[in-house]
Amino acid sequence: MALILPKGYRNLLGNAANTEKAIPYVKDMFHDNLSAQLALLRVTAPMVVLSGTGINDDLNSVERPVSFPIKSMSDSRAEVVHSLAKWKRLKLAEMGVGPGRGIYTDMNALRPDEDLDNIHSIYVDQWDWEKVINRDDRNLSFLKSTVRRIYEAVKVTENKVFVEFPCIEPVLPEDIFFIHSEELLELYPGLSPKERENEIVRKHKAVFIIGIGGDLSDGKPHDGRAADYDDWSTENTYGYKGLNGDILLWNPVLENAFEISSMGIRVDEKALALQLAIRGQEWKKDLYFHRKLLAGELPCTIGGGIGQSRLCMFLLRKAHIGEIQSSIWPEGMRLRCHEAGIELV
């Protein structure tokens, strides 16, 4: 999206020092609530993985990872993670975690192909979480119940922020609204996916859009998803496809739909084989991660990522993610933000 400069914007916390105090408050409050809601254990995670293993995430399958040779390993190449969707599943298998419990980590990534704007940075920090489930839990009802738990953690954190910083009043509704991306297309057939998101989230304020990655009736996906982590091909109970989606909130500062999380029930052996075939990526079956999954050696899981800087940005009513995190920004963007009262770190 283009850079948004809200008219009359001001830092509700008064200055940068108060913002720096508020950021760890929000992060600590939220990850404690998330851990309690989903029964998650915090684990340490890598920032780099070996290339050619299939462990790194393709995201929309076009982003290029930052990579480099490792001198002490005969110049084997490593790459900075995009996210940890597949690594977490391997970790759960290694730890022998049973159904109903999971892990989360503070994930730090570099995504140099991002188009920089109010919410996109080349530096990504998120809570990456993954939970073991029973095979019978691979359904829409279980997905929705997990989304509601995450949303509850967000709401509790918002209310705690209000207690600590009374200048920031809660805006989130009591419940989150669910809609499939195909239903959204039927509601707004003349709009682009992002325009559809704005319309539905403007109306309901908190929305989970189901089924992202597979083609809709217009022949296009709502948004891109790689073939090998979220399940976007399995038919759900409403006759639509997909056991994944995005959590979006109405941002009162930017006045648009604001994504804080991409998540879903992960592919099983059948869904992985199908989705690789749909994408013409069957060569991935020979990669380390994919071999283990297709052999039935990895648990069924649900998981996702929740943006740390994004959630802080939303809850602290910031206009730009650069007010939360230190990153690299075009000089022209810095100047325009400064003139609009937005001070980038």
Catalytic residues: 57, 111, 126, 246, 259, 262
19 touches 263 (CB < 8 A) = no
The rounded Cα 194 to chain-centroid distance in angstroms is 16
Closest of 311, 235, 231 to residue 276, by C-alpha: 231
d(CA 51, CA 59): 15
Residue 218 has a CB neighbour count (10 Å cut-off) of 10
Sheet with 206-210: list strands edge to edge: 40-42, 102-110, 123-132, 301-307, 256-265, 244-251, 206-210, 177-180
* 3-state secondary structure labels for all residues of 125-173: EEEEEEEECCHHHCCHHHHHHHHHHHHHHHHHHHHHHHHHCCCCCCCCC
Query: Residue 335 region, left (φ>0) first, then alpha (ψ -120 to 50), else beta?
Result: alpha
